[in-house]
Structure 1
């Protein structure tokens, strides 16, 4: 009787002791691996590769999430995955955690970008967690992504970046209220025409920096084109908050811009929209904000200068 193994099958008779084989694989694998006790989240085994990812003083998955994971959104995603897997313990022998990319801070202070996956064995009360360091690949991808989503002149986001950020916010929390402000600079064209495009470009850079410093870190500033900017405000409380931010930014835009020996004066018009109240997608919210902005321009036109009133004041040398 032919007992030869079929292609793809393992001939266990030719293998070394499975305990020794398992130990060797666990220790020599270049991918970080841990065994976690499900009942109390304790890490009961870790391989050498994992020690490059997390400090040995991290003794539980709870501590790893709280201490090593530097992104709050990633923390909550991983906690939600664990809760969901544990909830299936009564109906499944095994559960798996979907792949998730985490930013983890190691003992050396470095942030490593890690691809995480886990398999839960409920009856054995253990889970096996896999942590694959993809830092180099991911950093190169993020650098390319930043270039693609960044306005070359001002360094803030562009339209593609706005769409990408919008999709991320909707995917993370489709029930949140999201604000959008559209900003159009007044009196910018005369500055461009009078003092040249290099001066105009410096004005745009300066105003982009101001806008970024004047909003929350979670808000996303973009240049939509020409002298138009936009700001995405995730998880905003109400329209009152949107109006408050808008009024604050109007005051910011009215401050003179200093370029070389010129002190330039200009202002801006702002219109806003709220998701989901004013539209069900980004395009609809932007249209609403645009109409709101031009309605404001119509009702409160920009101040007209008298013939002898300068658009710029020369700063005397020290």
Structure 2
């Protein structure tokens, strides 16, 4: 059943007509509440006949006080003159006029208004009786328009000034691009506009880019585009949605990632490689070594630890720039002597490490070792001269000599030190006994360092006498170590370890200072001062600052240089020949005497002796020990004495054990002697006692 339609209610009775007074009140209410400034001006007198509240207040008046004022009095003479042409047009042409004005607020900010002037002609009138003024504040609209224009200008300038490519596209079709994008892909603006944006995307990236476009995402992601030539370019897209010229567009910033990726590759290379030689650095080598060893012992390998012999001399004599050139040359030769699959690294300084993979027997490794020795030993050009650089190489086999990178490296390092001890320019394979020796060396090294601070070292002194008169002419200072557990030790028990670990530097300086201090103490107690001979280590002597170190010792001890004699070995002469003349002359200018110890056991070229400022040669005791029975030793000894005399040098002999040797050496022309026939080495107190009890000097009698 259909519901009945309700009856229509009767019409409301008509509202009574308003009186003129009510209409005026209603008009006033309406005028005061609309967001427009309203005023009516008399055409003849230009005076205000009506104004709403907003109009009056905007000029600092109210609805009553504004009436009867001319518009010039209300808005000011300057403003009245400015709008006069618009007023004249309204009055003369009887048309409505609309215009805009830009004003300034009290705070200086701009304000825009739109003014509408509307003429009023009563019915039948030929002249305009009055003019309505409607003023609308349009500041927010103009500011919005200005913001849009500024945004467009900024965007246009950004597109022109940006170093990165920019693409605008609508519905996947490119509508605009900037010059950097054209340069990046090799197309002109005209060639790109109107093309699908996906047409310049690398094939394997199209699906990803299409998904971002269809989803309307605002994001950034790496991708790749294609150059006109077909070359792939790694880029980053930064995608945004915006409005331009009233259109909704997609803007994509295209950032070329190639410089960034190249920089990352360079950083990664620097992080993994030695900057000087380009070889792997220590950390990268150890990481890759660990990876190779993780494959198990089925793949045998050999780890080579390479140290350049006497490389410090290159830096000290030619400077670090030439030293760096030598290191680069050596690294190139190492790479050239290895397979591409072998790893080679510089661990720092003049140390290199090599991993030889898939080696089955020692002879395979020996073949590589001999090749490396031969290529590295080839003279290197440095500072316009040929330098011979030789390597000492230690080898540890995997898995026999260790299954961890650390063990292999330690064992190869141990074998390398043995190669140096064996005469350098050679190689040694690790043997288990070496580890025991290495541990003993480690313990001894620690004890040596503690001995220096614990004052456990002492100098013994062995007299040196005139070969003809027997008078005391000097003494040789000999180092001893009062070990807390092992007792009194001679240098043979510890000097090699001291030199290997550079403890010889502080120890050698202590020996010089202690000898100088003792010479001064004897002088102050009235003991006749004699030159004290001090043995130098090659490590100590090679220091560029050695002469300054000696000067510091003499100054600190307060003794003249004449109270010390420095003893060198023949090996030092061959190692340091280029700097020797100047260095020895500097030392002699400080008053020190210079002697060559153990002469006859080295390989000194005789012409070197003529170039060097020396004072004495000391014949090695191995020749003296077999006199007079060994005719060869006798011939060599006599020849050395005659040669030294011919060069104007004094001659000493050590290890003299009996009267026959004394008389024979004196007869041949030796100047000074020392040995057990005179006295053994003794502490300073015993030396003084021996000197006091000795009595008149005399030559020993030969027993018949």
TM-score (norm 1): 0.52
* Alpha carbons 1:191, 1:311 under 8 Å: kept: no
Change (3 A) 1:308 1:285: closer
- What is the CA distance between 1:264 and its match in structure 2? 0.9
Matched-pair contact (CA < 8 Å) for 2:397–2:408: yes
Query: Residue 262 and residue 144 in structure 1: after superposition, are their counterparts in 2 closer, same or farther (change >3 A)?
Result: same
Match of 2:207 in 1: 29
Larger Rg: 2
Contact conserved, 1:270 with 1:296, CA < 8 A, in 2? yes
Judge conservation of contact 1:265–1:311 (CA < 8 Å) in 2. Answer: no
CA drift at 1:149 = 1.3
Candidates 283, 288, 309, aligned match of 1:165: 288
Specify whether residues 137 and 243 from structure 1 end up closer, same or farther in structure 2 by C-alpha distance, changes over 3 A only: farther
In structure 2, do the counterparts of structure 1 residues 309 and 144 end up closer, same or farther at CA, with 3 Å as the change threshold?
A: closer
| CA 1:298–1:308: 2 relative to 1, 3 Å | closer
Deviation string 1:34-83 (CA, Å, 9 cap, x unpaired) is xxxxxxxxxxxxxxx9xx9xxxxxxxxxxxxxxxxxxxxxxxxxxxxxxx
Give the aligned partner of residue 156 of structure 1: 279
Residue 289 of structure 1 deviates from its aligned partner by 0.7
CA contact (8 A) 2:373 2:425 kept: no
Rate the CA distance shift 1:309–1:231 in 2: closer, same or farther, 3 A. closer
Q: 1:109 to 1:244 in 2, by over 3 A?
A: farther
Match of 1:288 in 2: 411
The alpha-carbon deviation at position 159 of structure 1 amounts to 0.5
Deviation of residue 143 (structure 1)?
Answer: 3.9
Query: In structure 2, do the counterparts of structure 1 residues 300 and 29 end up closer, same or farther at CA, with 3 Å as the change threshold?
Result: same
Contact 1:223/1:230 (<8 A) preserved: yes
Give the match for residue 371 of structure 2.
248
Question: How many residues end up aligned between the 2 structures?
Answer: 195
Structure 1 residues 176 and 136: alpha-carbon distance in aligned structure 2, compared to 1, 3 A threshold: farther
Are the equivalent residues in 2 in contact too, given 1:148–1:160 (CA < 8 A)?
no
**Higher RCO structure, 1 or 2 (CA under 8 Å, sep 6+):** 1
Cα 1:288–1:147 shift into 2, 3 Å:
same
> What's the offset of the Cα at 1:282?
0.7
Aligned CA distance change for structure 1 residues 274 and 309 (closer, same or farther; 3 Å):
closer
Give the TM-score, by structure 2 length: 0.25
1:307 to 573, 580, 604: 573
Partners of 2:231 and 2:382 lie apart in 1 by 40
Q: Distance in 2 between matches of 1:27 and 1:226?
A: 48
- Write the mapping of 1:1-318 to structure 2, written as runs, cut at 5 A: 29-30=207-208, 142-171=265-294, 175-301=298-424, 307=573
Moved more, 169-178 or 198-207: 169-178
RMSD: 3.7
Q: Which moved more, 1:237-246 or 1:223-232?
A: 237-246
Distance 2:358 2:315 in 1: 36
Offset, 1:200: 0.7
Distance 1:192 1:224, change over 3 A: same
After TM superposition, give the deviation of residue 161 of structure 1 in Å: 1.5
CA distance in 2, matches of 1:262, 1:193: 15
**Cα offset, 1:145, TM superposition:** 2.8
Return the offset for 1:260: 4.3
1:169 Cα deviation from its structure 2 partner: 1.8
Q: Write the distance in 1 (CA, Å) between the matches of 2:391 and 2:302.
A: 18
Cα pair 1:184 1:227 within 8 Å, conserved: yes
Where in structure 1 are there 5+ consecutive unaligned residues? 1-25, 32-48, 53-107, 113-133, 313-318
Unmatched segments (≥5 aa) in structure 2: 1-203, 210-222, 235-256, 427-569, 579-704
SS in 1 for 2:573: coil
Q: Deviations over 1:263-317 (max 9, x none)?
A: 11121100101111110111100111111111122223469868368878xxxxx
What secondary structure sits across from 1:200 in the alignment? helix
